[in-house]
A and B are shown apart, each in its own frame.
Chain A
Amino acid sequence: MTTASRPPRGLLVRRRAARTGQYLALLGYLVFLGFPLLWLVSTAFTSPRELAGLHPGWIPDHPTLDNFRQAFDEQPLLRAGANSLLAALAAAVIAVVIATPMAYVMARHHRSPLSRAATGWVVVSQAFPFVLVIIPLFLVLKNLRLIDSLGGLILVYVVWSLPFALWMLAGYVRAVPPELEEAAAVDGAGRLRALVSVTMPLLAPGIVATALFAFINAWNEFFFALVLLKSPEKQTMPVILTHFIGAEGVADLGPLAAASLLATLPSLVLFAVIQRRITSGTLAGAVKH
C-alpha cells in the first residue's frame, strides 16, 4: 500500500539527480563570482617578492600589510578619500533633500502631466549615453567656473542621482497611506504639520536608504570625475586608483590591490546595510511597470 502514497522510484532518482545538478551549477556560480574577489584580497596581502615568484598562490606564505603602507606612500589616498567622501556626502544629502518633495508629488499625483513627464525623464535618462551629456555639461560648468572644482562635481552628482532617487522615494511615499495624512489634517494639524509629523517619520527609513544608495553611486563614480577634475589634489578615489595603472610591474600590483580594497570597503559596508531596501526599491519599478 505504501507505493500509492509515495512517488515512484524512478521519479525519486531523477529528483536526486536534479538536486545534484543544481548544486553543481551553484558551485559553478560561486567559483565564477568569487575567484576574482579572492584573488584581489590575496594579492593585497602578498609581498611583491612573493608575487614575482614563479608560482603565485591563493594564500600568501607570509601575509603582509606592507602593500597598504606602500599604497599610501605612492598615491595621495587620504586626500582622495576625503574628496570622495565630501563629494558623495554632499551629493547624497542635497539629492535627497530636493528629491523627496518632488517624489511626494509624483507619488500622490501620479496622473498629473508633471508626474508623467518626470517619470518619462527618469526612464529616458537611463538610456542616454554620457558623452552626449558630458560635453555640454563641461561647457556649461566651464562658463560657471565650476570645472576642476568639487562643487561642480557635486552639482553633477546631484542631478545624476535624481532619477533613481525620485524613483525610489516615490515608491516609499506610495507605501504611506494618504488616509493617515488626512486623518491628521482633519484633527486640526495643518497640511504641512501633517506632512512633517506623520508622513516624514514613516518615510525616514526610505529616505536614509535612498541617500546611502546615492552616496555609494557617487563614491564609485568615475567618468564625470575623470572629465571634470584636473588638479591632482582635487581628484577622487576612483581617479586616483587609475594612476596606479600603467605598464605596471609586478612590484606595484600589491599596493594597487590594497588601495582597491580600501576604496571598496565603504561601498560594500553601506550596501550590506541597505541591500534589502535597495532591491525592493529598484524593483518597485521593474516589477510594476
Chain B
Amino acid sequence: MTPMTATARPDRRAGAGASGGGAPGVRRVTGHGAWFLVLPALIPILLLSVGPLLYGIALAFTDAQSGRTEPTEWIGLLNFQDLAQDTLFWESFRIGLLWAVAVSVPQFVLALGLALLLNQNLRFRWLARALAIVPWAMPEVVVGIMWRLVYHPEAGILGETLGTQRDWLGSLGTALPAVVVVGIWARLPQVTVVLLAGLSNVPRELHEAAAMDGAGAWRRFRTVTWPAIRPVALAIGALSFIWNINSFALVYVLTGGGPGGRTRLPMLFAYEEAFRYGQFGYAAAMGCVLVAVVSVLLAVQLVGRLRGDDR
C-alpha cells in the first residue's frame, strides 16, 4: 500500500513517446480503420450521454410529467419563471453553494497539508498513505452510514467522547456543519493524491538552493513549491468544487435533506421533484440553472486567475 512514490513516472515516459503524434505509418494505415475502432464506443456515448444531455436541456422547456397520458407540450420559459419565484429552490441553491465552498476550501487546504507531509521522509507515512486511500475505495453510501454511526445520538462515538447526547444530524444548528465534515473526509484522498503528484514536479535543486540562501519554509513554499504545483492545484480545486456541488449520495444517506431542509442540496431537491413528484420538466430546468451558475462561477474564477497571471 505505498503507491504514490511511483505515480506519474510511467506516464512521463509515455508523454515523451506520444508528443510526436504518432509516426506517419500509423496514421496512414489506421486512417480508414479508425472509424471501426471508434464506433463501438462512440455510438453509446452519442445515444446515452450526449443525446440525453440535449434531451434534458430540451425537457426544461416542456411541461413533461411522469405518468401523464396527454402529450407533453412546449411551454417556453414557464419553468424558469416558476423557478425564479420558488423560494424553496433558491434556499436549496444557497445551501448547495454554501456546502460546496465549505467542503472544497478546507478540503483543499487539508489535502495540500497532507500531500506536503506525505512528500517528506516521515515514519508512519505508509500508514497515512494507506488510510488516506480508503475513503476513495469505499462506496459513498457506506461513508454516509459510517458517519451516521459516529454521529448517532445514543450509540455514537462522538457524543460518547464529548460526553453529550446531541443529535448532530437531526438538529437545525449542527446538521449542515456535521454533513460538511463528512464531505471533507470523503474526497480528501482524491485531492491529496493529485496534489502529491503535482509535488513530484517541484524541482528539488531549487528547494535546496532556496534553503541554502536562508529562505524559511513558508518562503520556500511560496516561491518554489506553489508555482510548480499551481496548474494542478487549480485544476483539482475546480474539479472538487464541481464534484461537491453535484454530490448526492452522501447527504441522501446522512440526512435525506433534513432537518427542515437544512441540508437539502440542489441535487436532492431536483431528485425529489423529478422522481417523487414526477415533475420532469421542472426538475430539468433546475439542472439547467445549476449548470449555468456553476459554469459562470468557474468562468469568472478562471478569468480572474488569468488576469492574475498577466500582472
Contact = CB atoms under 8 A, between A and B. Distances in A.
Interface of A: 18, 22-23, 25-26, 29-30, 32-37, 39-40, 43, 51-52, 55-56, 58, 97-99, 101-102, 104-105, 107-112, 114, 118, 121, 125-137, 139-140, 155-156, 158-159, 162, 166, 171-172, 174-179, 181-182, 185, 191, 216, 219-223, 227, 237-238, 241-242, 244-245, 250, 253, 256-257, 260, 263-264, 267-268, 270-272, 275-276, 279-284, 286-289
12 contacts: A30-B128, A51-B155, A108-B22, A109-B22, A133-B52, A135-B283, A136-B284, A175-B14, A216-B137, A222-B139, A241-B139, A253-B152
Nearest to A183: B25
A166 B41 contact: yes
B34 interface: yes
A287 B160 contact: no
A223 to B, nearest CB: 5
A222 B139 CA distance: 8
B141 interface: yes
B102 interface: no
B93 interface: no
A283 B193 contact: yes
Interface residues of B, number: 113
A129 B139 contact: no
Given A33-B185, A121-B50, A159-B44, A260 B146 contact: yes
B141 to A, nearest CB: 4
A36 B291 contact: no
Contact of B267 (A23, A129, A137, A289): A129
A105 B30 contact: yes
A25 B25 contact: no
Contacts of B302: none
B53 interface: yes
Contacts of A264: 137-139, 142
A98 B11 contact: no
Contact of A162 (B45, B110, B122, B150): B45
Contacts of A271: 133, 136-137
A176 B16 CA distance: 11
